[in-house]
Amino acid sequence: MIRLFDRHNVRSVKELDGMWSFTPDNGSGKTYSLPVPGCWEQHPDLLTYRGTGTFTRTMRVTKDTAVRLVFKGVSHTADVYFDGQKVAHHYNAFTPFTAEIPGVKAGEHELTVKVDNRFSEASALHIPNDYYTYGGITRPAALEEIDDLFIERVHFTPEQTGSGWKATVELTVRNIGAEAAELNAQAELAGVTLRFPQETVPAGGETTVCAKADFPDVNAWSPDAPNLYFLRAVLRRGETETDDLIERVGFRTVSWQGGRLCVNGNPVFLKGFNRHEDYAAVGCAVPVQLMAQDLDLMADMGANAVRTCHYPNDERFLDLCDERGFLVWEENHARGLKLHHMQNPNFERQCEDCIREMIENHYNHPAIVIWGILNECASDTPEGRVMYKKQFEQIKSLDVTRPTTTATCQHFKDLCLDLPDVVSFNIYSGWYTDAPIAEACEREIEWIRRDGGAGKPLIVSEFGAAAVYGYRDPGHVKWSEERQSDVLDECLSVYMNHPEITGTFIWMFADCRVCEENNWFSTRARGHNNKGVVDEYRRPKIAYQTVKNHYKK
């Protein structure tokens, strides 16, 4: 299942989920049958395989047509071949990509995806880290049969007026044919028809057209009432519908003023969790039933927000958040990069691609209320500041309707606090330092206000403590469930009652696997980051109830 709703009535879509053949380049000479979506680490021979390999399958095209291959995530580098011809190259496990092929004949065709999950200079963002970089076609894939003129994307921007809502719909149409084509498009939303200006789309080019309308009678989307509407854009030739795209949207605004984050003008306090896409046995290829369970567990504890640390998430998870009114901080892919990592010659381009792919694809999710970048990177250096600034500017060039942020750990030396709309800080009082939690928080906020963050909403984006599931200790020593619970109890009492804080994101929801390389093994018992309030099987630790006592209030 690629999304939680049908995206087309006209365009034919066949999901490529199922068993593919996989040959790793590990000299074993073996070929496996592996699931897509899936991580190859689920196979006993490949539990720790870091390398390259080739996925293949055949697929049937039903008529002579153009086709579009959709990959929602391949970890981490993909080279895609259609009948032996290279049609796409893509880097980054966490963003979708497509390949369009005109003039395909009806019948059987071969699809080959070469996948690489190695660490090297070619990969600036996937490095040995405090989460695992898996291998495989880890998110769904699909084969679409398309007209040469097709809808690339639709962006919906709502605006609150005195009496109701207005919206702007931008439609981007691509022409992969050999001749210019006339664009004749309209969209339906909440009983209103939006007509787009007629334009000519050049051969091999794309055109964006725009339409606006009033929606006096719709119900707003909010955390308490997550009302969603289908927006269906259609292309026509004469009376015939030649292509369509369905989005699911919500009428809501996000604003940030007076030190608060507001949805539809109403201040919200974000009771959040940091969540990695990771689950025992299935790795990062988390099936939708487990995504739903994660949200059920978070909601059971009283949370209303989730941070997609440290990369863009599977769209089905975002769909679930839209449906449940869960507020999302989504961020680009970068964790703990030092200046020398940021000076990798591929860094800027790979970040730019990631930000563009994230925003273009996720723009319509009402649940997303913050865009984040560069968690705990070199924001304490002048060179780093230039890169932070550029990335914030890129976000604003793609979306002015949401605030930006970055989670800093450069306490008292960050040079970027003036750049984002919301200031967020990661602070591990009670775990990495024994500083009294309230005092450390006060010092931090005083510094933020002084050094560029005055007047901005403030979020504690990470705090917590590790506990090995099942390890109980009457002395509440570090690594025990009791100690984790004590730390979270005190942190939540302080942060949630602080008048200047507008959100708390617990580090973290569930334990996740980490890389062994780069010495992570020495501080990460069991090869896991153990700061989850549930373990990697979602078994609750003592802290589960503690968090509930605070978030459910």
Q: Is 518 helix (H, G, I), strand (E, B) or coil?
A: coil
Closest separation in Å from C-beta 428 to ligand ADA: 6
Nearer to ligand ADA (CB atom), residue 149 or residue 533: 533
Residue 426 binds ligand ADA (CB under 6 A): yes
| CA terminus-to-terminus distance, the chain | 36
Closest separation in Å from C-beta 87 to ligand ADA: 35
Q: Pick from 75, 28, 35, 48: which is nearest to 312 by CA?
A: 75
CB of 141 closer than 8 Å to CB of 16:
yes
Distance (Å, whole) CA 256 – CA 265? 9
Distance (Å, whole) CA 305 – CA 294? 12
Residue 367 binds ligand ADA (CB under 6 A): no
Closest separation in Å from C-beta 174 to ligand ADA: 37
Nearer to ligand ADA (CB atom), residue 278 or residue 376: 376
Burial class (CB in 10 A: 0-12, 13-18, 19+), 116: buried
Which residue among 376, 481, 482, 536 contacts ligand ADA (CB under 6 A)? 376
Nearer to ligand ADA (CB atom), residue 46 or residue 458: 458
CB of 464 closer than 8 Å to CB of 430:
no
Q: Which residue has the tokens 């994230």?
A: 358
Q: Which residue has the tokens 């503690």?
A: 546
Taking residues 457 to 496 in sequence order and writing x for each that binds ligand ADA by CB under 6 A, - otherwise, the string is -----x----------------------------------
Residue 275 binds ligand ADA (CB under 6 A): no
Which residue among 531, 538, 541, 550 contacts ligand ADA (CB under 6 A)? 531
Closest separation in Å from C-beta 262 to ligand ADA: 26
Closest separation in Å from C-beta 527 to ligand ADA: 14
Which residue among 41, 130, 148, 244 contacts ligand ADA (CB under 6 A)? 130
Nearer to ligand ADA (CB atom), residue 376 or residue 482: 376
Torsion sign, CA atoms 322, 326, 327, 328: negative
Nearer to ligand ADA (CB atom), residue 5 or residue 432: 432
Closest separation in Å from C-beta 407 to ligand ADA: 6
Residue 409 binds ligand ADA (CB under 6 A): yes
Can you give the C-alpha Rg of the chain in angstroms? 24
Residue 507 binds ligand ADA (CB under 6 A): yes
DSSP string, 247-296: EEE----EEEETTEEEETTEE--EEEEE--S-BTTTBT---HHHHHHHHH
Which residue among 7, 271, 335, 541 contacts ligand ADA (CB under 6 A)? 335
Nearer to ligand ADA (CB atom), residue 68 or residue 531: 531
CB of 279 closer than 8 Å to CB of 285:
no
Total residues at the site for ligand ADA (CB under 6 A)?
A: 10
Q: Which two tokens stand for residue 143?
A: 């084969």
The residues, ordered by sequence, that sit 6+ positions from 423 with a Cβ below 8 Å of its Cβ are 405, 408, 417, 448, 453, 456, 457, 458, 459
For residue 429, the surrounding DSSP H or E stretch is none
Provide the residue type at 328 as one letter: V
Q: Which residue has the tokens 């550029």?
A: 390
Closest separation in Å from C-beta 324 to ligand ADA: 25
Write the DSSP symbol of residue 433: B
Q: How many CA atoms lie within 13 A of 540 on its CB side?
A: 15
Closest separation in Å from C-beta 467 to ligand ADA: 12
Closest separation in Å from C-beta 329 to ligand ADA: 13
Nearer to ligand ADA (CB atom), residue 65 or residue 461: 461
Taking residues 232 to 271 in sequence order and writing x for each that binds ligand ADA by CB under 6 A, - otherwise, the string is ----------------------------------------
Closest separation in Å from C-beta 500 to ligand ADA: 21
Which residue among 138, 484, 529, 546 contacts ligand ADA (CB under 6 A)? 529
Q: Which two tokens stand for residue 540?
A: 């609750």
CB of 274 closer than 8 Å to CB of 329:
no
Which residue intervals of 414-497 are DSSP H helices?
437-448, 481-496
Distance (Å, whole) CA 546 – CA 272? 14
Closest separation in Å from C-beta 147 to ligand ADA: 44
CB atoms within 10 A of CB 412: 11
CB of 196 closer than 8 Å to CB of 213:
no
Nearer to ligand ADA (CB atom), residue 35 or residue 384: 384
Comparing every residue's Cβ against ligand ADA, the nearest one is 130
Closest separation in Å from C-beta 532 to ligand ADA: 10
Q: Which residues bind ligand ADA (CB under 6 A)?
A: 130, 335, 375-376, 409, 426, 462, 507, 529, 531
